[in-house]
Amino acid sequence: MTNVHYFTHGVTLAYRTYGSGPLVILAFHGFGRTGADFAVLEKELGDHCTLYAFDLHFHGKSPGYPERAETPFTPQELATYFTAFADQLGVEQVALLGYSLGGRIALSLLGTMPQRLVRVFLAAPDGLITRPWYRGLATSRIGRGLYKRFVERPVYVHAVIHGLRAVRLMSEKMHRFLIGQTDSKAKRILVRDVWLSYRLIEPDLKHVAEQAATHHIPIHLFFGERDSVIKPEFGAHLRQHAPELVTEQQLPFGHVLLTPELGDAISTLLPGV
């Protein structure tokens, strides 16, 4: 069983380590998951990489910071934290691997600490499209109040979701995903805490691409062929800004991409492998 470690620099995050190879990868999981999800990649990547798989704020063994609903994390704060972590490891440059929600974290770091990055892997990453409804709700006091009310009284929001599905304005997979993420009070609290505390982590894709170009950082996108949450066509939003740096690959899955097949795909992109 992999031991859980902790790193504190302002805030504290838990992390697990997989593999023992020379390339250091900071890995970020999806919503409602933990860094333990990256254990599935160890067989394929462990000889070439050392993965430091974090439990994001409010997830897994990492502590919660409910006050961050009012004073959210900033992109620079995240960059300062993970720069300090790299400094503690004694490495000048690291790679990033972000899945789903973790992809939004990785994209943000690409825009704020590019000088410390050598390569970025993004699997079904959030952050490729802007959701105005999310930004509007999360940034207004009224909207934040609605999030808090949703925790106790989900019936109205769920009715809207069911209605959209009934008139076929929402796919069955998306309907199942949204209801599955909010069908208990604990899950709704997590939605509130994560969405409100991360509301400033909205990567500017043009700026991200400019930083990648300036620092010659390859970006590798992976999508599930059947993913209705983060659709493969979303990749064009980033690729248009730096087509020479962005590669894209589709795997025969839905949204769940942390699989041995992803490990195989990543391994083919590693220098010297």
The order of strands in the sheet holding 23-28 is 5-9, 11-18, 49-55, 23-28, 94-99, 117-123, 219-224, 246-251
pLDDT by 10-residue block (mean), the chain, 273 residues: 88 97 97 96 96 97 89 96 98 98 98 98 94 60 67 70 76 72 78 88 95 97 94 96 96 96 96 65
Strand partners, 250: 223
State the pLDDT at residue 159. Answer: 77
What's domain 5-130+202-267's architecture?
3-Layer(aba) Sandwich (3.40)
CA 242 to chain centre: 20
State the pLDDT at residue 188. Answer: 81
For residues 109 and 74, the answer to whether their CB atoms sit within 8 Å is no
User: Hey, what are 33's tokens?
Assistant: 């998951």
User: Hey, what are 45's tokens?
Assistant: 């990547």
Helix 132-139 to helix 141-152 angle, to the nearest 10 degrees? 100
For the residues of 91-103, what is the DSSP string, one character each? -S-EEEEEETHHH
Rounding to the nearest 10 degrees, give the CA dihedral for residues 207, 25, 36, 254: 50
State the pLDDT at residue 179. Answer: 74
- For the chain, what are the domain ranges? 5-130+202-267, 132-196
**How would you label 139-157 residue by residue, b for 16+ Cβ within 10 Å and e otherwise?**
eeeebbeebeebbeebeeb
State the pLDDT at residue 195. Answer: 86
For residues 199 and 138, the answer to whether their CB atoms sit within 8 Å is yes
